[in-house]
């Protein structure tokens, strides 16, 4: 039986490249050069520090532009509030990966309500869709691409 998996993943290599490009631009850009701004990545959390809230917002804009240019979907970013303490401003941005249980249930419900001849099951942080025909699975992929979901979805592990 043909199957495929619905997942939500972020290409960490592209995120690292975007962070490197952002740090390079910060060090050369005239308005950010002496601000002490920097971006670091540690276990799916991007930590941004700067000397002022305005500079921090500028760095976040640069980072988002670099991520979008490298093909990272910005819906997978979860921004925390900006913390200002003394002469330093900080913000952490979490990269959301994997499908949480509520989103996985929503995807399964979408597929079941569509009356396609497919079955969807939740397996940890992904949803496996099975069907008798390849065309049914392609219709399920088209349905999920059209659906308004808060995380970007990828379809992998397609097997005949």
Per-residue pLDDT of 37-86, as tens digits, reads 889 998 889 999 998 888 888 999 999 999 999 998 888 999 999 898 88
Residue 29, domain CATH: 3.30.70.990
Are 69 and 141 found together in one domain? no
In a 3-state reduction of DSSP, which class is residue 43?
coil
| Cα 126 to Cα 149: distance, rounded to the nearest angstrom | 14
Compute CA distances 11 → 8, 33, 34, 77, 136, whole Å: 10, 29, 31, 13, 28
Of 31 and 65, more confident? 65
Are 62 and 16 found together in one domain? yes
Are 107 and 70 found together in one domain? no
Q: For the chain, how many structural domains are there in total?
A: 2
Are 22 and 74 found together in one domain? yes
pLDDT of 79-123, one tens digit each?
Answer: 999 898 888 899 999 999 888 888 888 888 888 888 888 888 888
Are 20 and 88 found together in one domain? yes
What's the whole-model pTM score? 0.82
Are 66 and 113 found together in one domain? no
Contact 9, 154 (CB under 8 A): yes
């Amino acid at each position: 039986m043909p199957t495929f998996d619905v997942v939500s993943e972020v290409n960490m290599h592209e995120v690292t490249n975007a962070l490197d490009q952002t740090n390079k631009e910060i060090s050369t850009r005239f308005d950010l050069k002496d601000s002490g701004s920097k971006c670091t990545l540690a276990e799916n959390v991007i930590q941004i520090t700067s000397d002022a809230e305005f500079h921090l917002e500028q760095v976040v804009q640069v980072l988002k532009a670099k991520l979008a240019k490298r093909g990272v979907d910005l819906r997978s970013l979860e921004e925390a509030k900006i913390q200002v303490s003394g002469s330093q401003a900080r913000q952490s941005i979490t990269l959301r990966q994997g499908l949480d249980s509520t989103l996985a249930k929503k995807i399964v419900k979408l597929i079941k309500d569509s009356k396609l001849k497919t079955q969807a099951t939740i397996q940890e942080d992904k949803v496996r869709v099975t069907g008798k025909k390849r065309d049914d699975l392609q219709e399920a992929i088209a349905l999920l691409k059209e659906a308004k979901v808060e995380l970007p979805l990828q379809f992998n592990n397609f097997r005949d």
